[in-house]
Structure 1
Amino acid sequence: MAHTIHSRHVHYGWDNGLEPVLEVEPGEAVEFEVVDASGGQLNPGSTAADVARLDFERVNPVTGPVFIKGAKPGDVLEVEILEFGPARWGWTAIIPGFGLLAGEFPEPYLKIWDLSGTGDRAWFNERIAVPLAPFPGTIGVALPEPGRHSIVPPRKNGGNMDIRHLTAGTRLLLPVWVEGALFSIGDTHAAQGDGEVCGTAIETAMQVACRFRIRRDLRLDEPAFIVPGPLASGQDPRGYFVTTGISDDLMEASRKAVRAMIRYLGETYHLEPAEAYALASVAVDLKISEVVDAPNWLVSAFLPQSLFVR
């Protein structure tokens, strides 16, 4: 890789006043060293007590920014995700006050994953293995508004979108809001379910390589992406166990579907509620099944049966 941005070049907010670390021509590729979402506050020896002590001013750092020459407001920046480097370990946490069921899980929880030499799966316990599909949880460009803006929520510039389908080969399309775009990336995940329901995936540090192009053949107000082939989701050869939630509020429908999944995992596979919630976050896909039959909407939670290997 011709260009590498090392992990010391991180920042904690979108700010169009930041000086770029690197300038590149369209068509060039860059390798980024990404720090895990805790900003290095957690390690393989950490416990749930360390989760409760996280400094939220240091979470979700992104590596960058990169100035892409010729990119101007109104353009679209195409970011081709080329490849990911290996990860040695990861973590999944329930953070008090955070997540879809925050009010029901007030205590911190931490799962440390061994990702070294695990091939294409990571073991949750002796019976359950989660397929690995790395992607960046946070990826975006600077906003047009001056000052520092939190990285935590997704916005029109991208940001913390947690789209699990941004795997190698995908092309992300981002509206450009400032000259040079000022692209940054972080929050790499080894695996995640659609919804990331407990608030964390398999969080890990890794390298990720991207190539940049400027597109002037389309206009976007918010991000879009192009997937090069079939989605992994929906392709499990052993099928799925699916729970549903029905409500006049989509968030409550989502909560009901996840509560039912947690209960199923506890009754069928003897997982503690916090374990089931964490497993759902990294392996269960939430899907909006319908939003047309007022007054109630339906959300489904898909559990791949191939997780259960022993």
Structure 2
Amino acid sequence: MLGNLFPLDSSKPFTDQEKIGHNRYHPEIPPVATVKPGDSFRVDSREWFDGDIKNDDSADDILNAPMKKVHGLSGPFRIEGAQPGDLLIVDILDVGPIPQEQGPLAGQGWGYTGIFAKSNGGSFLVEQFPDAYKAVWDFHGPWATSRHIPGVKFEGLIHPGIMATAPSAELLAKWNAREAALIATDPDRVPPLALPPEPEESVLGSVPQADRERIGAEAARTAPPRENGGNQDIKNLTKGTRAFYPVFVEGANFSIGDLHFSQGDGEITFCGGIEMGGYMELHVDVIKNGMELYGVSENAIFMPGRQDPQFSEWIAFSGTSVTLDGEQRYLDSHLSYQRAILHAIDYLATFGYSPEQAYLLLGAAPVEGRLSSVVDIPNSCSTVYIPTAIFDFDIRPSADGPHQIDPGIGAPKAADPVYG
């Protein structure tokens, strides 16, 4: 083990650290360190808003979350000998919250989940939930509980939201062109269809000052997943995972960040996992010419870890591709998953949860989302599975009717924004 190649001081902002990471993708962002195939090393990671979200009972920080500054990624790390066309092997040896610390940063004994306001990015159910809400979760060893969502306790499924290699100049240009074309179809949409390059709040590592304006205007935002991996938010990429990433630049320039204590499939509230800072221990290797050998041109391959919490019983909800207004859509799996989640929210509300509490829970707890049928025209069927063991009461339907919980202080709501 080489030690910690990207240490973070919890008392300092991301941009005031010994080594400066990045929050944009560009092939000219220099590596912070070089490792060799076969090396193992440790990396600290800051939560995606670098301390702007607080452990309190207000959601105004979610409403005003500074989207231009995310994500603060650790790296890039150059892998000696890696060349375009290779596959980079990344093993997650360990991953966890900021160790043995209690403090004001998410990861220091706590984390948070947020429903993002329509005016600031929105969520998967943005039309039904246009306002900003927040839930704070306390960590108790491997478990999480929340004063904002009482009656639940579950083991975390700790994972990075982002692992990525750097794009080549050609691939970066392709991203920017296709996303600009999408934005142009409805440039005034709220929330926007995509996020173009944004120099303001860009963090570009040790890029020379003379190049910062140009690179800031070209560099891609880290919000979406792309060919390099990126913000895929796959909850099963936990301890024991082996991932294979395509290499597009000399050295691969690999980065990580956006750690989550737990998450439901889809990260449906947008800030849907339990966000936190923490650490990762990684091992890297290279398969020469691996992209051609295995037919990989624009995607990562994963062998998920086997550290998942073990559940033996689930309650599941289905949805089909019919809108709330009764309009039939053709095999729309995005819509059918929305409907499945809405059905789960309606069900949980019968036990006394507010719809917002239920929505936050489905984003944070280790629920399973599945495409159950994608061929039976005209209706796609999607399902969401909730483990029954996370509740401290019987969540199953019975002749006695739903148990009534005390919803407590509820999920904080931000002040009402003005929508465009």
Q: Which bin holds the TM-score, normalised by the shorter protein?
A: over 0.9
Change (3 A) 1:209 1:46: farther
Deviation at 1:46, TM superposition (A): 6.5
* Residue number in structure 2 paired with 1:65: 76
Say yes or no: does 1:92 pair with 2:138: no
- Structure-1 residue corresponding to 2:23: 12
Look up the match of 1:120.
142
Structure 2 unmatched ranges of 5 or more: 9-16, 98-106, 173-217, 322-329, 394-420
After superposing on structure 2, the runs of 4+ consecutive aligned residues of structure 1 that deviate more than 4 Å are none
Instruction: Report matched runs for 1:97-246 at 5 Å.
Output: 97=118, 98-115=122-139, 118-124=140-146, 125-145=149-169, 146=172, 147-199=218-270, 200-216=272-288, 217=290, 218-219=293-294, 220-221=296-297, 222-229=299-306, 232=308, 235-237=310-312, 239-246=313-320
- Name the SS of the counterpart of 1:11 in structure 2: coil
How far, CA to CA, are the matches of 1:101 and 1:296 in structure 2? 20
Separation in 2, partners of 1:82, 1:46: 35
Is the contact made by 2:151 and 2:392 (CA closer than 8 Å) also made in structure 1?
A: yes
Instruction: Return the alpha-carbon distance in structure 2 between the equivalents of residues 189 and 62 of structure 1.
Output: 14
Partners of 1:257 and 1:188 in 2: CA distance: 27
CA pair 84-14 structure 1, distance change in 2 beyond 3 A: same
Counterpart AA for 2:245: L
- Using the TM superposition, give the Cα deviation of residue 126 of structure 1 relative to its aligned residue in structure 2, in angstroms: 4.0
**Per the alignment, in what secondary structure is the counterpart of residue 78 of structure 1?**
strand
* Conservation of the 8 A alpha-carbon contact between 2:21 and 2:72: yes
Q: Flag the 1:46–1:40 CA change in 2: closer, same or farther, 3 A.
A: farther
Segment drifting more, 46-55 vs 170-179: 46-55
Q: What's the Cα RMSD here?
A: 1.6
Name whichever of 9-18 and 219-228 sits farther off: 219-228
TM-score, normalised relative to structure 2 = 0.70
Q: Which has the larger radius of gyration?
A: 2
Structure 1 residue 257 corresponds to structure 2 residue 340: yes
- Unmatched 5+ stretches in structure 1: none
Query: Aligned partners of 1:212, 1:274: CA distance in 2, in Å?
Result: 41
Distance in 1, Cα, partners of 2:262 & 2:333: 24
Match of 1:286 in 2: 369
One-letter amino acid of the counterpart of residue 109, structure 1: Y
The TM-score normalised by the length of structure 1 is 0.93
The structural deviation recorded for 1:61 is 1.4
Q: Write the letter of the residue equivalent to 1:215.
A: I
Which structure has greater strand proportion? Answer: 1
- 2:13 aligns with none
Question: Residue 59 of structure 1: CA displacement?
Answer: 2.0
Counterpart Cα distance in 1 of 2:96 and 2:132? 30
Quote the sequence identity (%).
32
Amino acid at match of 1:3: G
Structure 2 CA distance for aligned equivalents of residues 300 and 212 of structure 1:
36
CA deviations over 1:9-35 (Å, ceiling 9, x no partner)? 221111110011000111112211111
